[in-house]
Amino acid sequence: MDTGSVSSSFEQLLAPQDAPPWWLVLVTAVLALVLVGYRPLWRLTRAVVTVAHEAGHALFALLTGRRLHAITLHTDTSGLTVSSGKPTGLGMIVTAAAGYPAPALLGLGYAALLGSGRVTVMLWATLVMLAAVLVKVRNVYGVVTVLVLGGAVFGVSWFGDELLQAGFAYLAAWFLLAAAVRPVIELQRSRRRQRGPGVSDADQLARLTHLPALLWVVFFAVVCLAALVVGAGLMLAPVEQLHPLLQR
């Protein structure tokens, strides 16, 4: 293989692209809000958030030295990540706490890449992450879900023109940033209705840390909202430079 061509391709991958049209960034933001806010669509798109949620548990399980066994994605858009190791302590706490902030932090990472013009990097990094998740998925629905998401990302990144790639990438970033907040709200509503000991991440964290579960829900909400604000600023900055009416 020609090392020169490999080096050239790698440099092309990392090279920043021009900022997209201002209207594309704003239109994708509105579309993301529709996908999150309109209930019939949310029932479908929430699966994307579940993949990111379980990937967050899995990643931090590995980073804290736990052994990752399986990821399961269910048709009701819930999920389960199974790891083994010490049942208490910092590793277990970090692993349990990583799920709800994960979509928001992933969206923030996307926003940082898009704000610097790295659309291609963002798309191919997504493929790598989905491939890593796929290795640990242990049920048919989960495998199909990850393959469909991966196929969509690959199709856009390989066959789409720059405008389509940018639109897809910005929609994904806006969606993750906005969508991360809704499961936290749903979590607290579910906790209000439950009777007896809870099984949610917040309830597990309460048992692990002896801190109120509500405090963990607030923590999730603060992280997600902060990521949304910062991520929006990163993606709108190039738009303000391109469109005089949006300049401060």
Q: Using one digit for the tens of pLDDT, what is the confidence trace for 50-63?
A: 999 999 999 999 99
pLDDT at 6: 47
* Residues of the chain above pLDDT 90, percent: 82
Burial 148-159 (b: 16+ CB within 10 A, else e): ebbeebeebbee
| pLDDT band per the 50, 70, 90 thresholds, residue 18 | confident
pLDDT of residue 239: 64
pLDDT in tens, 193-220: 876 567 899 999 999 999 999 999 999 9
Best CA proximity match to 134, nearest among 126, 75, 42 = 126
The mean pLDDT value for 59-72 works out to 96
The closest alpha carbon to 56, from 126, 89, 88, 104, belongs to 104
What is the reported pLDDT for 192? 85
Q: Are 176 and 104 in contact (CB under 8 A)?
A: yes
Residue 227: is its pLDDT beyond 50? yes
Please check whether residue 150 is in contact with residue 52, taking contact to mean a CB–CB distance below 8 angstroms.
no
Q: What is the mean pLDDT of residues 28-45?
A: 96
Q: What is the pLDDT of residue 92?
A: 96
Domain positions in the chain are 20-184+196-236
- pLDDT of 13 over the 80 cut: no
